[in-house]
Amino acid sequence: MNAIISASELASDLAAGHPPVLLDVRWQLSLAKSAGEPSFDGRAEYAAGHIPGAVYVDLDSELASAPGERGRHPLPDLAEFGAAMRRAGVSTRTPVVVYDGGQGWAAARAWWLLRWTGHPDVRVLDGGLPAWQGELSVETPEPAAGDFQPAPGTTGLLDADEAAALARSGVLLDARAAERYRGDVEPIDRVGGHIPGAVSAPTTDNVSANGRFLPAQELADRFKTLGAGDGSAVGVYCGSGVSAAHQVLALAVAGIPAALYVGSWSEWSSDPSRPVAVGPDPQ
């Protein structure tokens, strides 16, 4: 099953007799978050207009736990996550489509969480809300409660030690901007740089100018040049496990399974005992 869906495909599905559950996850990281300012969430934008039937999901409170030693966006409590998904109408046998404001990061985080916890049919709207050509609604739906019961997956998740090991034995991709990977700048976390052995692979290079994913073969070719796709185990991290989920999604589009280090650099860099590499090379 394709991990993404086009706006035209979604419009057809919504017009059919059994539409998917729609989740609106508009969100964007504030670079001032380290100073105590909250991330931007899309509640106001959702209220002003959303795809008809979509339910708003808050990334900070429903797709993550409170920030702390495990990073800025650690895994949510699964009981609370499941309750939030059921309130949104998510059921195991009903397809789910997730979208955000176009960047794709927040939608990918929801996609990854649902897939990792056992939902069999989740897709991300390619290009997000800007790709949608249909009408918008200001009505807040009240979906019937769903039945989804999340269960943690046995694969697809890395902790810090597993990420460090994978950087040596397989391929660990760093989805952040190249300047943060090199350690030239670090606007959020304690120190700049990267996990030793990780390869710089900005997730922004997976999409075209309109925010939509590159064709699957182009993505596969890109990841092959980065060392992924030859059968080696692949993992991804970023700042806090959000943009890295977008990279895992791009890898899925390319047909390459990958695991996510959810704690990412915000967890890794908070521990002074963990090594930090700087510069353009993995080291």
| Positions marked catalytic | 238
CA–CA distance, 118 with 148 (Å, rounded to integer):
9
Residue 224: CA atoms inside 13 Å, Cβ hemisphere, count? 9
CA–CA distance, 112 with 122 (Å, rounded to integer):
9
Token reading at 63: 């797709």
How distant is the alpha carbon of residue 116 from its chain centre? 12
From first CA to last CA, the distance across the chain in angstroms is 37
Contacts of 150 (CB under 8 A, 6+ apart): 78, 81, 82, 85, 113, 114, 117, 118, 119
CA–CA distance, 9 with 1 (Å, rounded to integer):
14
Phi, psi (degrees; rounded to nearest 5) at 20? -75, 160
The DSSP bridge partners found for residue 137 are: 50
The three-class DSSP label of residue 267 is helix
Amino acid, res. 194? H
User: Look-up: residue for tokens 């990792």?
Assistant: 116
| 8-state DSSP, 10 | H
